[in-house]
A and B are shown apart, each in its own frame.
Chain A
């Protein structure tokens, strides 16, 4: 089990540039979540997918943020244009949900710095 794989681990970019974060969930997991972590706001749920379909994107901060899941093994989170306040650690997590719930498996995150 390779776990959830995120790339890149670190991203430094200038304000106004496009940023794309990538995630490969655990094979067989049908739920995928994108979270953002900052000191000020903690862990925020941005969006989650079920069977590649976005279910709830109410946490996406602005239209500058978009997320896609073209297939069961790949998802992207794109920020265009990026701003310094987008600097954070972005986590992807996957899960297979049954009755009563089941745990989320997290990747090691992408640390984004926008200068």
Chain B
């Protein structure tokens, strides 16, 4: 079963625009991570936000976490054609183990 659900499922924007993807999850977490996957490749880690953090930045990426709403958002500013990929949120479940469960992903297409 999937822990996280991304919204939207697909997003198409023009180069230079911002892209926002949302993730909702169901159970208590230790942290939430965002990954990127280019076609035919493995997932690449982008950013991790811990359960006691509310916002984190990395370059053109901004991630927020609202544990009261069990939701997170990933903002990519000034998007580029090279940002075209699928983006996944993943949660480390707070069960004493280190199970990392992925959502269904958002497919982002950035038009040049």
A97 cross-chain contacts in B, Cβ below 8 A: 98
Q: Interface majority SS on B: helix, strand, loop or mixed?
A: strand
| Interface size of A in residues (CB-CB distance below 8 Å) | 25
- Chain B residues contacting A42 (CB-CB under 8 Å) are 2, 102-105
By a beta-carbon cutoff of 8 Å, the part of chain A in contact with chain B is 4, 31, 33, 35, 42-43, 45, 48, 50, 55-56, 91, 93, 95, 97, 100-109
By a beta-carbon cutoff of 8 Å, the part of chain B in contact with chain A is 2, 30-31, 33, 35, 40-45, 48, 50, 88, 90, 92, 97-105
A-B contact pairs, 28 of them (CB 8 A): A4-B42, A31-B98, A35-B102, A42-B103, A42-B104, A43-B88, A45-B100, A45-B101, A50-B98, A93-B42, A93-B43, A97-B98, A100-B31, A100-B50, A101-B48, A101-B92, A101-B98, A102-B48, A103-B45, A103-B48, A104-B43, A104-B45, A104-B90, A104-B100, A106-B42, A108-B41, A109-B41, A109-B42
